[in-house]
């Protein structure tokens, strides 16, 4: 009678996510083993400190401080990279892949910075790199794009990819509270990091958008090549103005491809969404992604985008897939095309081809002729005003001037903002938001 094969797993990193993986994997291991027909063993765990107090019990003999040793251990077939960053994480990921191992990662920054190298290494040495947990936590968006929607081309993908920002914006709107006080509360509750910049300035979302753009279009777009703007200049007044106009405000990643010109744009910015849009009504720490395919139409994915349980769920899903591969299965994760920098000649759209409508808020001197001067600047750049709202400003002897535009483009708006900021009657740097007309 043949023995049941054993698949050994190593965890590199044992913070919040790593402990969640251990906890939920241990609970469900028997069921997973029965499904796969193998024994699954969490063989070794790399930690920073051996004696640190943890929320899960783990035998001391399983612990080590040498993550690279775990990645290269010949008895370990699946390596989970859960340490974050792009230094040691890259080193151990490449080392494991060169040995033909399967690597599971939740590290969107690593994939954004070194994805091409990682996938080329996996392909060259027969390894596999699985990364469901890198985008949108427990939402299976990676599998949806790579497997379930493989027959489609994707003209539009957009959504909420950062739970911290969505929580802050939700609280600002519901409590009519300023950004700084809501941010402080989010930190107290553990929804925001001590250094919140990666989240609130849009960079975390940009890393995830880079991964989605590659999945959908085979192009690596770096954050430096995107429009990336954060939420830190939004005020409660913006929510009130948006409501008057029939919109809510969300920080979105927007990935759009025009297949007639074969141009791709990737953007991250606060966006006004119509109140009837499903994603406009996704609140708190939840994520939501709308994917429009040319065959299936529009599909929506909503769920917890971060946190121990949601991310652990995605990591364990990838561990199971990796184990199935070791049992002789096939994978959509390893096409030769993954090593190519671009597919089908797709190129990045220039700013003048990235078009939408805009919301512009100006703090101006409360005096005659200001609106005319503002309108003159906008007309000079061929931007047509659609609506005007004027309210008192928090600054003495000033007014808040809110304009929406008809469709324009990024180059014209950048020039307009530059010229508006030079007007003596404009007292603060203008606030620009995009209006999302996605027609879902």
Catalytic residues: 208
Asked whether the beta carbons of 83 and 13 are under 8 A apart, the reply is yes
If 0-12 CB within 10 Å is exposed, 13-18 middle and 19+ buried, where does residue 390 land?
A: middle
What is the number of other CB atoms lying within 10 angstroms of the CB of residue 302?
18
Cα–Cα distance, 180 to 163 (Å, whole number) = 17
- Token readout for 268 is 């991250």
CA distances from 282 to 166, 262, 267, 331, 342 (A): 8, 31, 20, 33, 33
Backbone region of residue 246 per phi and psi (left: phi > 0; alpha: psi in -120 to 50; beta: other values):
left
Q: Which helix (H) or strand (E) holds 414?
A: helix 410-421
Sign of CA dihedral 272, 276, 279, 283: positive
Helices (H), 329-407: 370-380
């Amino acid at each position: 009678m043949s023995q049941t094969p054993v698949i050994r797993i190593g965890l590199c990193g044992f913070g919040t996510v790593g402990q969640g993986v251990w906890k939920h994997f241990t609970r469900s291991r028997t069921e997973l083993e029965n499904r796969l027909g193998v024994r699954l063993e969490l063989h070794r765990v790399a930690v920073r400190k051996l004696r640190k107090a943890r929320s899960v019990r783990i035998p001391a003999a399983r612990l080590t401080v040498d993550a690279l040793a775990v990645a290269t251990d010949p008895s370990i077939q699946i390596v989970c990279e859960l340490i974050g960053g792009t230094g040691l994480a890259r080193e151990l990921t490449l080392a494991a892949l060169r040995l033909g191992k399967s690597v599971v990662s939740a590290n969107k920054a690593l994939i954004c910075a070194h994805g091409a190298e990682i996938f080329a290494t996996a392909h060259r040495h027969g390894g596999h790199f699985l990364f469901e947990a890198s985008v949108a936590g427990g939402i299976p968006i990676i599998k949806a794009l790579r497997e379930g929607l493989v027959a489609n081309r994707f003209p539009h993908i957009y959504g909420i990819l950062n739970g911290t920002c969505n929580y802050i914006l939700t609280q600002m709107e519901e409590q009519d509270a300023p950004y700084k006080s809501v941010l402080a509360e989010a930190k107290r509750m553990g929804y925001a990091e001590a250094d919140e910049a990666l989240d609130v300035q849009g960079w975390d979302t940009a890393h995830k958008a880079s991964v989605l753009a590659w999945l959908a279009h085979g192009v690596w777009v770096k954050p430096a090549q995107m429009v990336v703007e954060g939420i830190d200049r939004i005020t409660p007044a913006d929510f009130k103005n948006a409501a008057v106009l029939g919109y809510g405000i969300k920080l979105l990643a927007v990935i759009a491809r025009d297949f007639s010109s074969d141009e791709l744009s990737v953007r991250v910015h606060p966006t006004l969404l119509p109140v009837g849009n499903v994603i406009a009504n996704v609140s708190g720490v939840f994520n939501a992604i709308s994917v429009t395919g040319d065959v299936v139409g529009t599909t929506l994915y909503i769920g917890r985008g971060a946190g121990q349980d949601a991310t652990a769920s995605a990591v364990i899903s990838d561990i199971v897939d990796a184990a199935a591969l070791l049992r002789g299965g096939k994978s959509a994760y390893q096409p030769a095309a993954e090593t190519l920098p671009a597919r089908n000649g797709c190129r990045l759209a220039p700013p003048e081809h990235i078009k939408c409508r805009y919301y512009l808020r100006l703090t101006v001197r409360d005096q005659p002729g200001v609106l005319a001067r503002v309108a003159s600047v906008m007309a000079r750049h061929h931007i047509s005003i659609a609506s005007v709202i004027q309210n008192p400003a928090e600054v003495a002897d000033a007014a808040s001037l809110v304009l929406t535009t008809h469709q324009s483009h990024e180059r014209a708006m950048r020039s307009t903002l530059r010229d508006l900021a030079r007007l003596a009657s404009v007292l603060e740097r203008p606030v620009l938001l995009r209006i999302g007309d996605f027609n879902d």
